[in-house]
Amino acid sequence: MKLVLTEFVTLDGVCQGPGSPTEDPSDGFTRGGWLIPFLDETFVRRTSEWLGLADGLLLGRRTYEAFARDWPEITDPDDPFTVRMNALPKYVATSTLTEASWNPTTILEGDPVESVAKLKAEPGRELQIHGSGRLGNALLAAGLVDTLRLAVAPTVVGSGRRLLDHPGMPVGLRLSKHEVTGTGLLLLEYDATGTAEVGEYEGVGAFV
């Protein structure tokens, strides 16, 4: 399977609490809900198409517990995500969770990098990380993420947990798809290309 990291972020890279001021107040974060003003039909259609490519969901403990609490309670028949979110196989990378109630769920034990590498070797289309910024960041740094999909909100939050912040080697990306919604959300898709290249500026003559 291909490992895909799907995240909602602000222009300054914050991924914490996109859906509500009370969604994730950890570490004293009070500026959640920043994505909601920019939701529109294009965003819903495109993210629904993204989810339609998934053969499994990979989640960290915090995100799993929030999703397991909320998604089974959604009963709107017109919601384009609920049936698939509840039915897809879920894999949780955690060292503290011992039981899982949101079926079908598999708890991954041991080193998450090794566990996810084994999952990727199984047949299928996409194993998608939703939320779970710390897990996604660690797997990106480990070279396991194949594709990064971002919905970038045109807002600067100024505080909160940021997505792309890891001590590993720089990660190279190649933009493969891009779109702008009517509300100004940037929908970006990148393919991971390995360690990021660097260079030295030699003047504009080198580029013409």
**Angle formed at CA 150 by CA 148 and CA 153, multiple of 5 degrees:** 165
Average pLDDT over every residue of 135-150:
94
Of 62, 18, 21, whose CA–CA distance to 151 is shortest?
Answer: 18
What pLDDT score was predicted for residue 16? 93
Would you call 192 helix, strand, or coil by DSSP?
Answer: strand
Fold of 8-16+34-176+191-196: Dihydrofolate Reductase, subunit A (3.40.430)
pTM of the prediction? Answer: 0.92
Average pLDDT over every residue of 66-72:
91
- Give the tokens for residue 127: 């194993």
Residue pLDDT, tens place only, 121-138: 999 999 999 988 889 989
Residue pLDDT, tens place only, 27-40: 999 999 999 999 99
Contact assessment for residue 184 and residue 39, using Cβ atoms and an 8 Å cutoff: no
* pLDDT beyond 80 at 114: yes
Computed over every residue of the chain, the mean pLDDT equals: 92
What pLDDT score was predicted for residue 76? 84
The residues, any chain, with a CB within 8 Å of residue 110's CB and separated by 6 or more, are: none
Of 11, 107, 93, whose CA–CA distance to 59 is shortest?
Answer: 93
Distance CA 16, CA 38 (A): 16
Q: Tell me the Cα Rg of the chain.
A: 18
